Structure 1
Amino acid sequence: MKTNQEIDEKLVKAYKAGDKKALAALVKRWHKLFCDKAYWLVKDKEAAKDIAQDSWSIIINKIEHLKEPKQFKYWAYRIVINKATDWLRLQSKQQKQPFNDNKDIEDDAEDDLENQQLKQRLLKAINQLPENQKVIIGLFYTQSYSIKQISDLLNISVGTVKSRLFHAREKLKITLKHKNYEN
């Protein structure tokens, strides 16, 4: 049984050799996942679809330069994440609105009031983090990516991932501790 990486490698090599059906197979395998990843980051379905589509344009234009076809997933996810991050930057410049709309908190009626308030304070604190730290926090805690996987996805060093994660945690601790004294 072939692993997903082997399947991706075969499809990428076939596409590079001129097989247009291989590209269709890659799109079929990955498009929904790209949309899901973009939506997880931007929380806007239409924008997520656009980001996935834009990412495919970049993937198609640059796939010839992909040196390790087995790494297609990480390479392509990095493109999706970069496009989503660009979209978020543009939105924050235009609207200065929070990164997360707190729908998850509002939908969770079973949590008691104290837990909801804590979640709201945590999301608000996360929204105040720099964009690069928000992404790391989300990938690490929400998506359960390892530090190495985050490093590969974002094309940054493992040390940078650890540093951003550390500083984000410290800022969150300070913010949440400070808010507890105010309440």
Structure 2
Amino acid sequence: MKRLKKTFIIGMIMVCAVVSMMFLRGLGPKRAENAAIPEAPPAGITDAPTPEKPAETELPPPQDNDSDRTGGEEEPPLMATPHFSMEEYQCDCAGYCDGWPCVVEPELLEKIEALRCYFGRPVIITSGVRCEARNEEVGGVSWSFHKRGCAADLYCPGVGVGDLAAGAKDCGLNVLPYYSSGYIHVEI
């Protein structure tokens, strides 16, 4: 019975991973619109210099309260995966950066989506990418994977830290559990 359950869970993770990859492929034409998703160079170009920082993201102008009353519709958020918006991974500093000091690694997006599918319930990201100032502010280490777009801190309501950490390991993530704080740090 345990073997059947494990086979079923692995199958579900694989389905989620395939769906996530298909979804991310579907974002292809939109990649140039968001600096957090790198645009692939045209075929045949191999010596193009790689920028050190992603281009600044152009955000839509802020909407005032009057536009809501006139029936203006909000644009849906740009989704990183079927269950997570790019905004959930954005740096939450107090204006030290534009929110995207680095690009979120697609492998991290895929594995956190697989974790969400593994438990079949919402996973809350409390910290995604971080700029240097925000990393120092929260007491992060100088070599933090958050500053490279390779880590996130998260929790899953109703799932214990130990169970969440075990599930994250099953999904291929490196894990640092913070039992007393009720969350885990995951990285690739």
TM-score by length of 2: 0.30
Task: Flag the structure with higher helix content.
Answer: 1
TM-score by length of 1: 0.30
Task: Flag the structure with higher strand content.
Answer: 2
